[in-house]
Structure 1
């Protein structure tokens, strides 16, 4: 049934040229199929399959997700056949080469890092991780405390220390989500800033460490709570960043889909 729904959705999208999921489900009755996500579980709910089908077609390189339908906070997107963006489609890439390319980009962004973090982030088997690393030029480095990690061999030069900086990062930002072992930048603040499924909520950073959390209230005010004493200069920098964030959001209200304990407290 899933494969039939994929083909029917793809044919409908080809006919339209571009469409939202709602438009495609109106064209294809099969997309209006409802399934129960976790039968017998308290958190189970019934949902349609349209989004699953469209995301799968996207992962297969057959369609492309475009702009949100409405404001940038909308979760409804316009989809197009891949040929409208790339006339020749996406050139097939051997799985091993694709994995190596992904690992290279991950190490460029998140190295120095232990192999266990890479395995966790990708969800691959140890064998697939090892094969990908074998295609790259990497160097093992000492992370301290007896732990070792990997870095790309052309990325060994020390990075100059930046000036102290403050940042308010949104929920699910790739920075806190990039590593499995987060103690070196998160400290003891995980229970307040992550939900039970491991999703990161809005976080306050000072000089490369998580020091608190923030939220946007219904009236647009950006509020934050520092979870440790960072000093007057740091607090002033965070306040300036919160004011800048409020001005940037303007009339937009963005409520995280995955809500964390501190974010809920700040907006109560």
Structure 2
């Protein structure tokens, strides 16, 4: 069987950058969220991922979208809690849902017996009829901090939802899924949902390998391959798949403006979308240890952790960045991957939109020392 070469890296980079809505942001944040399937729910990652993909994204959008029951936080790809559209949430959740037995260790660590957990679960719908802070929930259940383990497990079962608060950090409230949505979470067929989710991944993140599909979903490569077995896809080279209806557009994709800037937060959908050895479309191999949190002592394992906040120029990751607040003042430090990576790039006002979203009255950005392995 003839194996064709992988697509040209520049073509791959331009296509993925555009599919991730980084070249042409959406006019509406719901379109942006549907566009990338889901985003990591932690704050400020969720709002900053949407800011990067939405024109005029405002600080009040997330709270309003939750109040309108347009978005929910549920277990999603790789078992991490994601912010996702209500209309697609059941099909995202169904293939990644874990059996309750998988959380036996969590409950045991919190000193909660299975019978006690079942009793708490039976009481939950009556107590969590309205959103409650952890302190309010503990008082209502008459339990200490170990209650939160039980509520988190119920969230992984899809019975409890977490609602956000501050854009800067996770300030969560908990509520019964049925009470909040007006009905229990739908339970579509898991296998059909896996097929749908695999194709959604290729739509938003392709061209990609079966290995990347499996990595993103958190499934085995065997299950990922089975999910795509009869799907309408095309191999554009090197085992990289696209939905067949994207083939012509991929062949004629326009290059990225070499000076285009994208600021991605920690755990961004793009950085967390590919298996550790499949990220060359946006970061050079030698820069992987700077783009991802290190696990262990280097090597490939160092690329499998959390995606760090990145500065992309022309679709390439050239620096990492971090921010901190002192009152209403936000300070940003940018760490270039090479000594001259930021040459001719002015940081003036580059992070102002992020600062404004997070409530900063002033933003100062500085260049730190180049990253070193």
Quickly name the TM-score band, shorter chain normalised: 0.7 to 0.9
SS at match of 1:64: strand
**Match of 1:14?**
126
Structure 1 residues 263 and 92: CA distance shift in structure 2, 3 A: farther
Corresponding residue to 1:245 among 354, 365, 368: 354
Gaps of 5+ in 1: 34-48, 254-261
Q: Is the 8 A contact 1:112 1:151 kept in 2?
A: yes
In structure 1, the residue matched to 2:279 is: 182
| Pick aligned residue for 1:137 from 223, 232, 238 | 232
4+ aligned runs moved over 4 Å, structure 1:
230-233, 262-266
Equivalent in the alignment of 1:163: 257
Cα RMSD, aligned residues only = 3.1
Q: Deviations over 1:115-141 (max 9, x none)?
A: 111122222123311221125211112
Structure 1: how far apart are the matches of 2:115 and 2:316? 46
- SS of equivalent to 2:235: strand
Is the Cα contact below 8 Å between 1:177 and 1:200 reproduced in 2? yes
Provide TM-score, normalisation by structure 1.
0.74
Shift of 1:11: 1.7
Q: Given the two structures, how large is their TM-score scaled by the length of structure 2?
A: 0.55
- 2:208 pairs with 1:96: no
Change (3 A) 1:7 1:209: farther
- CA-to-aligned-CA distance 1:194-246 (integer Å, 9 cap, x gap): 2124111111101111010112144412221322445755x13x544234433
Say if 1:222 and 1:246, in contact at 8 Å, map to a contact too: no
Q: What's the CA shift string for 1:17-59, capped at 9, x where partnerless?
A: 12223322334456644xxxxxxxxxxxxxxx61x43333223
Question: Could you give the per-residue CA deviations for residues 64-112 of structure 1, whole angstroms, max 9, x where no partner exists?
Answer: 22222xx223323112212233323222211101111211221111100
- Give 2:162's aligned residue: 65
> Contact conserved, 1:223 with 1:242, CA < 8 A, in 2?
no
Larger relative contact order, structure 1 or 2 (CA cutoff 8 Å, min sep 6): 2
